[in-house]
């Protein structure tokens, strides 16, 4: 994920002061098993903490995360510049150690040097489409206890905002960029009965929506959420065809795509009428080249895709 924004936290301005029910005694019917409100206690001894950091709004940092960052001997991270800016904003000064996808091999040496290590990714929860799992494995191999703190992540709010079923879902993370692996994952998304959550970069969003449209059909319900918790946060809901057209000219920000499951009764693995598909794309105004490229992504050979694209644009 990209560098979080560090906006000033606004003061709340409630006309007439706080509501009356915030003053006075607590209600008598509160449950007896409320969480303990005592200060956060940090256990002694060697330990690795996986600490979520905000994906945008700094108000999403937790009190426990702050206490852990203060208690750690060092903070390991993907990018020392980004994490340094975050810690400076939070008023925390700690040694920073780079542990990203390219340097995770030195995790055992880092664990040996720093007994109490906090690990953060650039934004969100470490280990969710970011490094982190390798550090957990290295710590457990060295008999170092590991704690994963709950906190900010992008896919959960995007899933809820999608208005699609949330009872069962699959988190795909980032799709493979090309080749057979990408086609297989797209086919799996199309066949899946439950909701699917994907991460995508802004410059690949349109291509991924077009590929999903080819795999799932144009009418599959989908949402695109970008810039979560930031000033220009946006969630757009519609069909794959509508969203592919909406984001054809590009977009900014980090992206979460949520795709509805396969509708009940829809066949799995049905043969696609590529000629009809080419005519449909031509009717939408796509060029011969764009139609050809989409048909190739959907599995057609280059020559066959070009022939159908040329015929469709000639007839349009």
The predicted-structure confidence for 87-136, as pLDDT tens digits, reads as follows 999 999 999 999 999 999 999 999 999 999 999 999 999 998 888 999 99
Binning pLDDT at 50, 70 and 90, where does residue 189 land?
very high
**234 or 293, which is more confident?**
234
Q: What is the pLDDT of residue 304?
A: 82
For the chain, how many helices (H) and strands (E)?
11, 10
CA distance 65 to 58: 12
**3 or 311, which is more confident?**
311
Q: What is the pLDDT of residue 111?
A: 96
- Examine the pLDDT at 24 and tell me if it is beyond 60: no
Q: What is the pLDDT of residue 39?
A: 59
Q: Provide the percentage of residues in the chain whose pLDDT is more than 90.
A: 61
CA distance 190 to 30: 46
pLDDT digits (tens, 9 = 90+) for 146-181: 999 999 999 999 999 999 999 999 999 999 988 888
Burial class from Cβ neighbours inside 10 Å (0-12, 13-18, 19+) for residue 161 reads middle
Q: What is the pLDDT of residue 178?
A: 86
In residues, how long is the chain? 316
Neighbour-count burial for 28-65, b at 16+ CB within 10 Å, e otherwise: eeeeeeeeeeeeeeeeeebbbbbbbbbbbbbebbbebb
Q: State phi, psi for 149 to the nearest 5 degrees.
A: -80, 140
The predicted model gives 72-78 an average pLDDT of 97
Tell me the pTM.
0.73
- Examine the pLDDT at 32 and tell me if it is beyond 70: no
pLDDT digits (tens, 9 = 90+) for 254-306: 999 999 999 887 655 444 577 888 888 888 888 999 888 888 766 677 888 88
- Examine the pLDDT at 17 and tell me if it is beyond 50: no
Q: What is the pLDDT of residue 22?
A: 39
| DSSP label at residue 272 | P
């Amino acid at each position: 994920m990209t560098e979080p924004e560090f906006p000033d936290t606004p003061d709340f301005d409630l006309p007439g002061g706080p509501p009356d029910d915030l003053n006075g005694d607590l209600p008598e019917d509160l449950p007896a098993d409320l969480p303990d409100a005592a200060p956060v206690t940090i256990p002694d001894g060697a330990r690795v903490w996986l600490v979520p950091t905000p994906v945008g709004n700094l108000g999403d940092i937790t009190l426990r995360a702050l206490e852990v960052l203060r208690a750690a001997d060092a903070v390991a991270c993907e990018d020392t510049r980004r994490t340094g800016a975050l810690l400076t904003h939070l008023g925390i000064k700690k040694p920073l150690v780079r542990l990203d996808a390219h340097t995770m091999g030195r995790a055992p040496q880092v664990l040996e040097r720093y007994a109490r290590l906090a690990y953060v990714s650039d934004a969100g929860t470490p280990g969710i489409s970011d490094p982190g799992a390798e550090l957990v494995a290295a710590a457990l191999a060295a008999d170092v206890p590991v704690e994963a703190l709950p906190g900010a992540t992008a896919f959960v709010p995007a899933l809820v905002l999608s208005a699609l079923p949330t009872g069962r879902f699959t988190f795909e993370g980032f799709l493979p960029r090309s080749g057979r692996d990408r086609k297989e994952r797209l086919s799996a998304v199309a066949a899946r009965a439950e909701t699917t959550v994907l991460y995508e970069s802004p410059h690949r969003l349109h291509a991924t929506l077009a590929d999903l449209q080819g795999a799932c059909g144009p009418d599959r319900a989908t949402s695109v959420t970008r810039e979560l918790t930031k000033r220009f946060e946006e969630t757009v809901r519609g069909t794959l065809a509508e969203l592919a057209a909406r984001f054809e000219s590009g977009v900014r920000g980090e992206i979460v795509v949520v795709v509805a499951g396969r509708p009940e009764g829809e066949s799995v693995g049905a043969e696609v009428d590529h000629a009809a598909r080419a005519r449909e794309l031509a009717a939408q105004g796509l060029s011969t080249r764009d139609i050809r490229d989409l048909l190739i992504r959907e599995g057609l050979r280059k020559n066959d895709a070009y022939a159908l694209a040329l015929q469709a644009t000639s007839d349009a």
